[in-house]
Amino acid sequence: MADPASHPGTVALVGAGPGDPGLITVRGRDWLTRADVVVYDHLVNPRLLKLAPGGCEFIYAGKKEGVATLPQDAINALLIDKAREGKTVVRLKGGDPFIFGRGGEEATELKSAGVPFIVVPGVTSPIGVSAYAGIPLTHRDFSSTVSIITGSNEKGNEDLHLDWEKIASRSGTLVFLMGARKLRRIAEKLMEHGKAPNTPIAVIQWGTTPVQKTWQGTLESIVGIAERETILPPALTIIGEVVSLKPHMDWFEGLPLFGKTVVVTRPEHQAEGFIEQLLERGAEPFLFPVIDMVEPDDAGPLDNAIKNLAVYDGVIFTSVNGVTWFMKRLAAHNLDIRELKDKRIYCIGPRTEQAVRDLGVRVDTVPEEYVAESLVESLGRENLKGKCFLLPRAQVAREMLPEKLAELGARVDVAPAYKTVLPEADTAELRRRLDAGTLDVVTFTSSSTVKHFMELAGDGAKEALSRTTVACIGPVTAKTAQNLGLKVAVMAEEYTVDGLIRALEAHFAKP
């Protein structure tokens, strides 16, 4: 908690960008990482809130479908009060704070109250959304001017706030924000004041996000399209000849996984890389962690192995988790990686290998295929008679590896380093979307993720998944899914997250 006496508090008016969390500025991200309080709007991507430190207070002040959670006066007072408590307050606003974001009003009130503040510009929706829609707002052959207009400041037909005649006479690009519900009025007024009925128009809903959708038409046809398609906010409207360039510049909506909602079942702390790759390919990640890791029921075998590391010729790591939890246990004994200086190290998979290399330790063997069977084949080329290996792994795992190595004459001490358990999970949204058929893919990266998912999803999950693409990281995981009655549509040829992504791309590229 900040001390008001030594730190008077500051408010940062930060633009969060139009939706894609990657569009926040570096400075905006930096302010979030040191915030005591974040006051955020409806259109702010929830992933940005994860940038804030632990213990940060989050206050929702959004406006949805015309209904405000907090009136503007209350938001102004809230910012002032929190700053006067000596806190660093981030006012996180969709787009840019000063482009129809009421940031000017908030800055004025802060100034009047003597509260220090700074402004961090954001990627405003006209710029971000138009770019993701493949529509340049300016083009030397079509438009050299841009007009940005709010579509929500008319209170009624008799109370006009826009000079339609001047707007309609402009030859450049017109961009209307927050005008989805007044699309008919916008089109009619522009045509009434001389804009050609065949003027191209595009309406982009949820721009820069994986659920972005674009409708194209003309001033004359767009109302019919909007009524037929039920276009709802948030939406941005672009009017002008530049709209005709979209077919030549489309990129976002053509990404290989665009519009696909992909369930990620990995533990949250291990899912970030997977989620980033999905976002880069246009998918909507739906994080539903089904695994948590805790201490094993009995740490005795691993503790005993650590006390007697001198007897082992090698250590076998089958996962990144095995590396992580083994290192934790070493540290608990006031030991470190130097204890492995004379051991041969064997790893399954490139991620596990990298986790060991990141510790500054050389890896001696990584099998060609990232499964235990391939490691047995690799080790089988060595003379294993009389050799002793330590295998720190999950408490519950396949016994194939130690059994096969024993057949080759080796002694393998299996030492549980961690246990996988069911996390606390709110399954309501998952079940709602499964039943509604709005989840396109469910990914499984281990047998445990399959078993835990089915347990958490509950009755009817198998039937719901029959309407969803089930994707598995490798044959062992796929076999577990099939044994539970699931139809596996996608299996990675390379048993990694990268391989799983490539397999999904290939699957959805099929005609």
* Residue 469 φ/ψ, nearest 5 degrees: -75, 120
Beta bridge partners of 263: 286, 442
401, 410 contact by CB (below 8 A): no
Helices then strands, counting H and E runs in the chain, come out as 19, 22
The yes-or-no answer on residue 63 being catalytic is yes
Separation in Å, CA 422 to CA 306, 348, 415, 482: 28, 24, 21, 21
User: Do you find a cis peptide bond into 234, omega within 30 degrees of 0?
Assistant: yes
Separation in Å, CA 63 to CA 57, 82, 130, 156, 178: 19, 21, 23, 20, 12
Of 20, 36, 41, 96, catalytic = 41
Assigned token pair, 3: 């001390």
Separation in Å, CA 343 to CA 100, 174, 182, 340, 390: 63, 68, 71, 5, 10
* Residue 471 φ/ψ, nearest 5 degrees: -120, 130
CA dihedral 345, 346, 348, 354 (to 10 degrees): 30
Beta bridge partners of 159: 156
DSSP label at residue 24: S
Q: Count CA atoms closer than 13 A to 108's CA, side-chain side.
A: 7
The yes-or-no answer on residue 385 being catalytic is no
Sheet holding 388-394: strands in order across?
292-294, 411-421, 388-394, 314-317, 344-347
Sheet holding 173-177: strands in order across?
146-150, 173-177, 235-239, 200-205, 213-218
372, 446 contact by CB (below 8 A): no
Question: In 349-399, which ranges are continuous DSSP H helix?
Answer: 350-357, 372-379
> Exposure string (b/e) for 15-42, b if CB count within 10 Å is 16 or more?
bbbbbbbebbbeebeebbeebbbbbbbb
Beta carbons within 8 Å of 449's beta carbon, 6+ residues apart: 265, 266, 290, 291, 477
Of 20, 30, 36, 63, catalytic = 63
Sheet holding 37-40: strands in order across?
57-60, 37-40, 88-93, 10-15, 117-120
> Exposure string (b/e) for 70-104, b if CB count within 10 Å is 16 or more?
beeeebbebbbebbebbbbbbbbbbbbbbbbbbbe
Catalytically active residues are 41, 63
